[in-house]
Structure 1
């Protein structure tokens, strides 16, 4: 993760502070929504709007990830999480897409929270770098997401 620190302070980067502010706004917005159906519809619109704002390379990957996740695990509900498209079960984030632009990284990331059932022995991956979403990558994402919600 690139840093925009301008002093010796070892606190949060500007990108991290911006993500926390986005998350606070997401929580305020969610609290104001009406019925559960209204909340879910608005949450999905927010995710699609966030994806549409991304630079082309990230946007194309995020659109494919969104399509794959929602098809492979319809039990997951799209929502914004720290300004990133995320997919939750019972309100708890299972996986998320982080654009490369979000933290000035050289690649986008598909990440999984501790809610994902990806455990493999005593060590396993919980994030994957993405530079392109090919049909093979889509198949791998679908398998991971299905396993995560099993």
Structure 2
């Protein structure tokens, strides 16, 4: 891991550590799921919140926001495809959560893996 990658990872973990419970624990779990599902992604701060990119200098592909709910979102740089079915041409790009159970953890990992291929 390069020194820039280490610095970025530290900034992300510091940002998560500064959050109040129970959000801190949930955000840490989401971060861990992302890093396990796509270990090649590089954590970084993007617009003040944790994000994950293909490299330290590339635009973020996935962001985490700590607003009224935790928001896992794909940026416009992530590969998108139309959802089809009842969602037609809409492209899923954001998911809100308040906690992380096993099923949600599995779905987050699937979403992350879909971004990195």
TM-score (normalised: structure 1): 0.69
Per-residue deviation, residues 38-65 of structure 1 (Å, max 9, x unmatched): 1000100110000000111221111011
Larger Rg computed on CA atoms: 1
Match of 1:138 among 91, 105, 115: 105
Q: List runs of 5+ in structure 1 lacking aligned partners.
A: 1-35
Matched, 1:73 2:35: no
Q: 1:120 Cα deviation (Å)?
A: 2.1
Which structure has greater helix proportion?
1
Moved >2 Å (runs of 4+): none
User: For the residues of structure 2 that align with 1:119 and 1:39, how far apart are their CA atoms?
Assistant: 32
Which structure has greater strand proportion?
2
**1:41-120 matches, cutoff 5 A:** 41-90=6-55, 91-100=58-67, 105=68, 107-120=69-82
Per-residue deviation, residues 10-59 of structure 1 (Å, max 9, x unmatched): xxxxxxxxxxxxxxxxxxxxxxxxxx811000100110000000111221
> How many residue pairs were aligned?
110
Q: What's the RMSD between the two structures over aligned residues?
A: 1.3
Q: List runs of 5+ in structure 2 lacking aligned partners.
A: 84-88
Q: 1:129 Cα deviation (Å)?
A: 0.6
